Amino acid sequence: MPFSHHSHSGQFCPGHAKDNLEEIIQLAISKKFHTFCLTEHMPRHEEDFYPEEIEAGDTESSHVANEAAYFAEATRLRTKYAGQINILIGFEIDWIRPGSRQLIEESLSRHPFEFFMGSVHHTLTVPIDYDRPLYEKARTLAGGTDELLFEAYFDEQLDMLKQVKPVVVGHFDLIRLKSDDPDRSFQQYPRVWEKILRNLDYVAGYGGLLEVNSAALRKGMKEPYPNGEICQEFLARGGRFCLSDDSHGLEQVGLNFHRVVPFLEQVGVSKLHYLGLGEDGGDDDAPVDARFPRTQIKEVSLEEVKKMSFWG
């Protein structure tokens, strides 16, 4: 799809992603993207650093400095490539515990970001998408089964949703990635399914977008995040979807978007949404969130998207 609301670069997410941010934007332009959102990770407390960050000698202050360098470079690149591609500057949150809210608010106070991606990568403070051993550690803490870990994940996700109401909700069902059967139906676990529906009600209620994230496909799953049954339930609630490649380098920009279109058609999505920028107080579209006065949600039909030059 010629839109992505979720991306990372090796320049500002070393060890987790690859390649230079400007090269990534240049590639998105060459692929005729309409909108490409930048969402490097927010700073975290040292107790939550990943192994490669510890090995590199990262500190909380170095993460804050990295955030400042990212925002400055993203602003420069948007100016440089204005007229060739629409760029929004945001960040991806890491909701780990209630104290994460303070870190999010600190990021928002330091720089005039235009949105953030609301994501959960930890359950019971343990990373659940990093590798299988850490997933198993989280599962043990939850009580020893995927079902119990799924319940804990969606409860923590609801806490995140209520606390910060993200404009875009990232990889809604990420918890399935390292599980025993990532493609199984969540409905086999009635308590888990009830929590999923509860969370979808909440997102639809405040007007948030769910990203359809193609990264699940490159990681071997049959359907994007969120899976088809979740998309259908969100659609039934009047929910709105945006699109993301969740790219972590040049080779993943736009990857597997050709597989997303038939998926969207199969689950019944006929309209897509994307973020745009207007003037402060502009009348063309209402702002999405008082925290982001210029950020607006635009609508486009799937049929229109299929005709865009990206596919050429």
Alpha carbons 37 and 13: distance in angstroms, whole number: 15
Alpha carbons 242 and 113: distance in angstroms, whole number: 19
Within a domain: residue 205? Answer: yes
pLDDT reported for residue 312: 74
Give the tens place of pLDDT for each residue, 117-143.
999 999 999 999 999 999 999 999 999
Alpha carbons 142 and 53: distance in angstroms, whole number: 26
Three-state helix/strand/coil letters over 74-91: HHHHHHHCCCCCEEEEEE
pLDDT reported for residue 16: 79
Within a domain: residue 298? Answer: yes
Give the tens place of pLDDT for each residue, 159-190.
999 999 999 999 999 999 999 999 999 999 99
Within a domain: residue 160? Answer: yes
Whether the model pTM is above 0.85: yes
Question: Judging by DSSP bridges, how do beta strands 122-123 and 115-118 pair with one another?
Answer: unpaired
pLDDT reported for residue 17: 86
pLDDT reported for residue 282: 44
pLDDT reported for residue 281: 43
Within a domain: residue 38? Answer: no
Within a domain: residue 64? Answer: no
* CATH for 213: 3.20.20.140
Three-state helix/strand/coil letters over 197-227: HHHHHHHHHHCCEEEEECHHHHCCCCCCECC
Of 136 and 278, the structure prediction assigns the larger pLDDT to 136
> Where does residue 224 rank: exposed (0-12), middle (13-18), buried (19+ CB within 10 A)?
buried
Residue 152 token pair: 């804990």
Residue 285 confidence class, pLDDT cut points 50, 70, 90: low
Residue 177 domain boundaries: 89-311
Number of Cβ within a 10 Å radius of residue 124: 17
Q: 26 near 258, Cβ under 8 Å?
A: no
pLDDT reported for residue 279: 67
Within a domain: residue 199? Answer: yes
Considering its fold, how many domains does the chain have in total? 1
In total, the chain counts a number of residues equal to 312
Give the tens place of pLDDT for each residue, 198-242.
999 999 999 999 999 999 999 999 999 999 999 999 999 999 999
Q: 123 near 117, Cβ under 8 Å?
A: no
Q: 163 near 110, Cβ under 8 Å?
A: no
Within a domain: residue 56? Answer: no
Within a domain: residue 69? Answer: no
* pLDDT reading at 283 higher than 50: no
